[in-house]
Amino acid sequence: MNEEIRQRLQNKKIWQRGFFMVMYMGIYGFCNFLMIAIFVFQFVALIIAGQPNALLLDFGKNLGTYIRQIIAYMTLNTDYLPFPFSAWPNDGNSEQLTKDRNISD
């Protein structure tokens, strides 16, 4: 086995990253279920009240940003750990999604 590969296999940061990626896969699945529930509820609210629920509009926007942060982390586009290791996105802004790939250190 090549020595470089052996060193990467012993790198704790890489294994930690893998653990977080598996954890975020579960969170991502739950968030998708939650987003579908919001779709259905908002559609029903639109039919009944004639307008969507204002609180769910903001939550849906923030949940979409959160899902985007999870995808960026899981696809190795960032090392930024999304919620619960950082603040919940509150304004739909995803400034933290910068390319800062340092996992091989």
Question: Residue 5, by phi and psi: left (phi above 0), alpha (psi -120 to 50) or beta?
Answer: alpha
Dig out the tokens for 19 from the structure.
């653990």
Residue 6: predicted pLDDT = 83
Q: Quote the Cα angle for 78-79-85, to 5°.
A: 120
* Closest by CA position to 93, among listed 72, 70, 65: 65
Instruction: Check whether 102 has a pLDDT greater than 70.
Output: no
In this prediction, residue 44 has a pLDDT band, given cuts at 50, 70 and 90, of: very high
Please write the tens of the pLDDT for every residue from 46-90.
Answer: 999 999 999 899 999 999 999 999 999 999 999 999 998 899 998
What DSSP state is assigned to residue 86? Answer: S
